[in-house]
Amino acid sequence: MTQLPTDILMQLIRARHACLVQLRDLGRHQVTLIGRGNVSGLLDVLTVKQKPLNDLQRIERALDPFRSQDPEQRQWHSAADRAACSQLVSECEAILKETVALEKHCENAMIEQRDTTAARLQQLRSAGQAHGAYFAVSHTEISQLDLTSGT
């Protein structure tokens, strides 16, 4: 069987699908880690995500020549091959949409955690200042107590 350009297209779509599945799964794990406040695990996941992101960029560049083609003019070995590729493309779009939503959720969760941490730090700072002021006032009053009699 002769290799057609659509065979290359199908290989690229399969590779894109695999990368997107991996990124989605890592995104789901990322949500769990953020919920647990596991920064170390989160950093590990972000490191692991770099490879599929790089692979996805490479695949997208390889797909560029196909973007300018008229899909109706592509030659396929069979209608089943064309349908399978179309199905994978649809799945890729759904997975990409889910992955973007996960990333947005993670971003919002991290912002919320940052703001909560900042508020707690401000409360601690205020409590520390109040304690320091109270201690200074009470220490000053005791050391400046006038025990002399006015008579």
- Asked if residues 106 and 34 have their Cβ atoms less than 8 Å apart, the reply is yes
What's the whole-model pTM score? 0.76
Residues 20/26/27/33 CA torsion (nearest 10 deg): 180
Q: What is the pLDDT along the chain (151 residues), one digit of tens a residue?
A: 678 999 999 999 999 999 999 999 999 999 999 999 899 999 999 999 999 999 999 999 999 999 999 988 999 999 999 999 999 999 999 999 999 999 999 999 989 988 887 888 888 777 777 767 666 655 555 555 555 666 5
CATH topology of domain 5-110: Methane Monooxygenase Hydroxylase; Chain G, domain 1 (1.20.58)
- Asked if residues 56 and 64 have their Cβ atoms less than 8 Å apart, the reply is no
- Closest of 114, 91, 120 to residue 17, by C-alpha: 91
- Rounded Cα distance between 99 and 97, Å, is 5
- Asked if residues 31 and 105 have their Cβ atoms less than 8 Å apart, the reply is yes
- Rounded Cα distance between 37 and 135, Å, is 35
Q: How is residue 71 written in tokens?
A: 């899909």
